[in-house]
Amino acid sequence: DINQVIRNVAESFGGTCIDKKIAIELVLTDEKMLVNADMSKIQQVLYNLVDNAIKFSHKDSSVKIETTEKHSKVFVSVKDSGIGIPKEDQKLIFDRFYKSDASRGKDKKGTGLGLAIVKEIIKAHEENINVISTAGVGTEFIFSLAKAKAMDEEDE
């Protein structure tokens, strides 16, 4: 259930969010959203995306996590209204050790590996991750997962 994994990850950031006064807003259905995936790996993906969203956001802002279903896929969006990523950097951020200029400040810790790991995990699931970002406005990462077939549809 991807919705439950998201709730757990959001909860694990509770303390950091209070320090920076960032609210994590969850837009999830009450029903379970079952996906075919290695849930500990997907938890790691979410952890890295939310970690970035908080790290690159200003105080007193919010991070929104939303799930939507379309055909046989579930789409997970992690959206912030932080510093954004300049267009020319957007294709580089998934590379190992890449950090944009804006994120090399002393308060922006990290080795630049988070998104490389994210990309690797999503690729291993034969799924996709995309970034939509405007410098100075904010960033949204969206990745897909395969919906789990309902029990009665199995063996078809």
Q: What's the distance, Cα to Cα, between the start and end of the chain in Å?
A: 22
Counting contacts by CB under 6 A, is residue 53 touching ligand ATP? yes
- Interface residue with ligand ATP among 3, 67, 103, 144 (CB under 6 A) is 103
Instruction: Give the ranges where the chain is alpha helix by DSSP (H).
Output: 2-12, 14-20, 39-55, 87-90, 114-124
- Which range of residues in 2-10, 21-29, 46-54, 142-150 is near ligand ATP by CB under 6 A? 46-54
Counting contacts by CB under 6 A, is residue 85 touching ligand ATP? yes
- Interface residue with Mg ion among 114, 118, 139, 145 (CB under 5 A) is 114
Distant-in-sequence, close-in-space partners of 18: CB < 8 Å, separation ≥ 6: none
33 binds, among Mg ion, ligand ATP, none (CB under 5 to 8 A by kind): none
3-class SS at 152?
Answer: helix
The site that binds Mg ion (CB under 5 A) totals a number of residues, namely 2
Distance CA 67, CA 73 (A): 10
Counting contacts by CB under 6 A, is residue 121 touching ligand ATP? no
- Interface residue with ligand ATP among 16, 34, 75, 98 (CB under 6 A) is 98
